[in-house]
Chain A
Amino acid sequence: MKLRKEYKEHDYLINTYGSFTEARNDKAHVDERRYAGILKLTADGTLIMGIWSLIKGYMETLSDMGSELIAGGIPVLIAIFGSVFAFALFFVIGISFRYMIWRGACKEADSGRKRNGYIACAIIFLAYGLYEVASFIYRAVWKGTDAQDVLRLIFDATSLIIVCELIASAFRLRKVRDELEAAETGGNL
């Protein structure tokens, strides 16, 4: 009986049946999967922060409205209308934009098609986050802070970091995909 230590010849036979395939584990492919994974993860993070932001903002508005109602400062109807309006406003700002970012990022990570809309939204959030952090520093220096401000800063800073990571991974993913496409087509970068 003849036994083969190496089975490369056999692999060739298997190849003729079209069954053998290689794992794509070169650096470019691994990086592409890594950045796509990070992009989706940060997109999830953005959406979660949006939901938290909505709950937080709405609770703050409700508590202010409640105080005004108890004090008799505003009529009940206006309070109800105001809270619905505030909810809608927070929903649009907190969720809709973030949902667009989440959807665009997930689609780009999955399909490989470049999308710019969500990047534009993410940059708006980035600017807003920078403004929030800067305003906290301004307040802290000139007016002093309380525990609520510090908690808000933690929330805003976390949100800012997530948006930064999302934008960075989106651009890194595009770069890797361009390189892969160039390598596969033999074209220039």
Chain B
Amino acid sequence: MQMDFHYYATYAAAYLAGYSHEESMVICYSAQFVDECSKTFLKSIKGPLSAATTQLQEEMADARTDLLGLQDITRIWASFHFLPRDLHRNPKVRCSRAYRRKYRLICGPNGELAAETVRLARGKGLEAAGLAMHVIADTWAHQYFAGTPSIVINNVNEYFYEIICRDGMKEEYKIRFNHNPATADDPEKMEYTNTIFQSSENSVMNLGHGRAGHFPDYSYARYRYMPAWADYNEVVKDNPADYLRAFTQMIYALKYLRGDIEEFDTEKYDMDTIAPYRDEILGILCKRQVDACADWKAFAEKLSGCTIGDFDINKYKDEYMAADKDSRNKTVIGRFILAAMSQKSMVTNRIYKSGNRAAGYSIDIGEK
């Protein structure tokens, strides 16, 4: 997902869940900040590098793909962007133990880890809530991809079709990918930018949905493709439907985090709250555009009647830098860092305890 959903839609979800404008702003800032909090940024504010929640392209270019390097990549991407759905699942196809472990890192919604992510954020402040919303939302958008480099899981081939509904008729068009990062994605010509094919299983080019470019992140995208792990079965992804579920699950989770609901369960969606706005939301989700920020912003501002400022990565930077060492953890970025370390530790240890060494081992921050 992109800024349109992580920032503006998260604001709308928080507001619909009952948070005030100011609280919703912190939640949506934290949700979007997950995509910005790289080691480079943390270095600039003298923060702990282990709290990084993303890797910039420049950092990825320098990333090692030996065991420790892969574990570092997996810790970040599996914890915050590609949360595994089921760490104990046995794939239908016969495969080696190493691949079985990799398949278990495939991202998906409504997993046990997703529920734990939300439960972990309860009582930890608005920043932890925002971070959890990012993770929950991404489980829907990044379904079927994994937060570890793997050609078998993440590669896409020429069998990649966009499904477009026009006048009640379904039409399928082959998506064309190019590797020029200077080229903008073009939904009209169905041309998108993706990473270069690398036959190496552990190449960083095969991380997440890089081989499908940004296409899986667009809310209008409906597509079918054939991942190598599916043994010639195709996967159909319906983003408008999934994004609506993500949005309503976020509202439900935020109500739980506010204390309105006692228990958080998976596969529950707060459809009633959005009932008056469903057509409007579906309209935004189905609109063929690569950036829905303006539409989501207008919708969110209409909801709260307040102006939502554009995302500014440095908004809380000075507060963090000016705080002394003891009070840093009470700032917005300080609390975000604590939440990030806690989430990363929880996911890493869950993966480790499932017998999978792909993310390495972490001290249990939650117990500290």
Q: Are B236 and A33 in contact (CB under 8 A)?
A: no
Q: Are A21 and B163 in contact (CB under 8 A)?
A: yes
Q: Are B234 and A25 in contact (CB under 8 A)?
A: yes
A143 to chain B, nearest CB (A): 43
Q: Are B233 and A30 in contact (CB under 8 A)?
A: yes
Interface residues in B289-314 by Cβ distance below 8 A to A read none
Interface residues in B245-286 by Cβ distance below 8 A to A read 245, 252, 255, 261, 267-273, 278, 282, 286
Q: Is A37 an interface residue (CB 8 A)?
A: yes
Q: Are A14 and B233 in contact (CB under 8 A)?
A: no
Q: Are A17 and B269 in contact (CB under 8 A)?
A: no
Q: Are B233 and A1 in contact (CB under 8 A)?
A: no
Interface residues in A1-38 by Cβ distance below 8 A to B read 1-5, 7, 10-11, 13-14, 17-25, 29-31, 33-34, 37
Q: Are B236 and A23 in contact (CB under 8 A)?
A: yes
Q: Are B234 and A1 in contact (CB under 8 A)?
A: no
Q: For the complex, what is the distance from the CA of A30 to the CA of B241, rounded to whole Å?
A: 25
Q: Is B114 an interface residue (CB 8 A)?
A: no
Partner of B233, one of A18, A19, A20, A25: A25
Report which residue of A3, A22, A33 has the largest number of chain B beta carbons within 10 angstroms of its beta carbon: A3
Q: For the complex, what is the distance from the CA of A2 to the CA of B261, rounded to whole Å?
A: 12
B359 to chain A, nearest CB (A): 30
Q: Are B238 and A10 in contact (CB under 8 A)?
A: no
Q: Are A23 and B222 in contact (CB under 8 A)?
A: no
Partner of A37, one of B232, B240, B282: B232
A residues in contact with B235, CB < 8 Å: 23
Q: Is B224 an interface residue (CB 8 A)?
A: yes
B173 to chain A, nearest CB (A): 14
B271 to chain A, nearest CB (A): 6
**Cβ-closest chain B residue relative to A32:** B232
Q: Are B270 and A1 in contact (CB under 8 A)?
A: yes
Q: For the complex, what is the distance from the CA of A25 to the CA of B234, rounded to whole Å?
A: 6
B144 to chain A, nearest CB (A): 11
- Report the interface size for chain B: residues with CB under 8 A from the other chain: 32
Report which residue of B224, B231, B235, B271 has the largest number of chain A beta carbons within 10 angstroms of its beta carbon: B271
Q: Are B226 and A33 in contact (CB under 8 A)?
A: yes
B residues in contact with A33, CB < 8 Å: 159, 226, 232, 234
Q: Are A3 and B270 in contact (CB under 8 A)?
A: yes
Interface residues in B196-247 by Cβ distance below 8 A to A read 222, 224, 226, 231-236, 238, 240-241, 244-245
Q: Are B269 and A3 in contact (CB under 8 A)?
A: yes
Report which residue of A1, A2, A13, A24 has the largest number of chain B beta carbons within 10 angstroms of its beta carbon: A1
Report which residue of B165, B241, B244, B272 has the largest number of chain A beta carbons within 10 angstroms of its beta carbon: B241
B residues in contact with A22, CB < 8 Å: 236
Q: Are B159 and A17 in contact (CB under 8 A)?
A: no
Q: Is B170 an interface residue (CB 8 A)?
A: yes
Q: For the complex, what is the distance from the CA of A31 to the CA of B233, rounded to whole Å?
A: 9
Known: A18-B168, A21-B222. A1 touches B272 (CB 8 A): yes
Q: For the complex, what is the distance from the CA of A13 to the CA of B274, rounded to whole Å?
A: 13
A residues in contact with B232, CB < 8 Å: 30-31, 33-34, 37
**Cβ-closest chain B residue relative to A10:** B271
B residues in contact with A37, CB < 8 Å: 232
B residues in contact with A30, CB < 8 Å: 231-233
Q: For the complex, what is the distance from the CA of A21 to the CA of B238, rounded to whole Å?
A: 8
A186 to chain B, nearest CB (A): 20
Q: For the complex, what is the distance from the CA of A37 to the CA of B232, rounded to whole Å?
A: 9
Q: Are A14 and B234 in contact (CB under 8 A)?
A: no
A173 to chain B, nearest CB (A): 12
Q: Are B226 and A17 in contact (CB under 8 A)?
A: no
Q: Are A23 and B244 in contact (CB under 8 A)?
A: no
A residues in contact with B267, CB < 8 Å: 5, 7
Q: For the complex, what is the distance from the CA of A87 to the CA of B238, rounded to whole Å?
A: 54
**Sample of 6 further A-B pairs with CB below 8 A, known A10-B245, A29-B234, A34-B232:** A1-B273, A3-B268, A7-B267, A7-B271, A23-B234, A23-B236
Closest 9 interchain pairs by CB? A18-B165, A23-B236, A34-B232, A25-B233, A14-B241, A3-B268, A33-B232, A19-B240, A30-B232
22 pairs of residues in contact across A and B, judged by CB atoms under 8 Å: A2-B272, A3-B252, A4-B268, A5-B268, A7-B271, A10-B245, A10-B269, A13-B278, A17-B282, A19-B165, A19-B286, A20-B238, A21-B222, A21-B224, A21-B236, A23-B235, A23-B236, A29-B234, A30-B233, A33-B159, A33-B226, A33-B232
- Residues of B in contact with A (beta carbons under 8 Å apart): 159, 163, 165, 168, 170, 222, 224, 226, 231-236, 238, 240-241, 244-245, 252, 255, 261, 267-273, 278, 282, 286
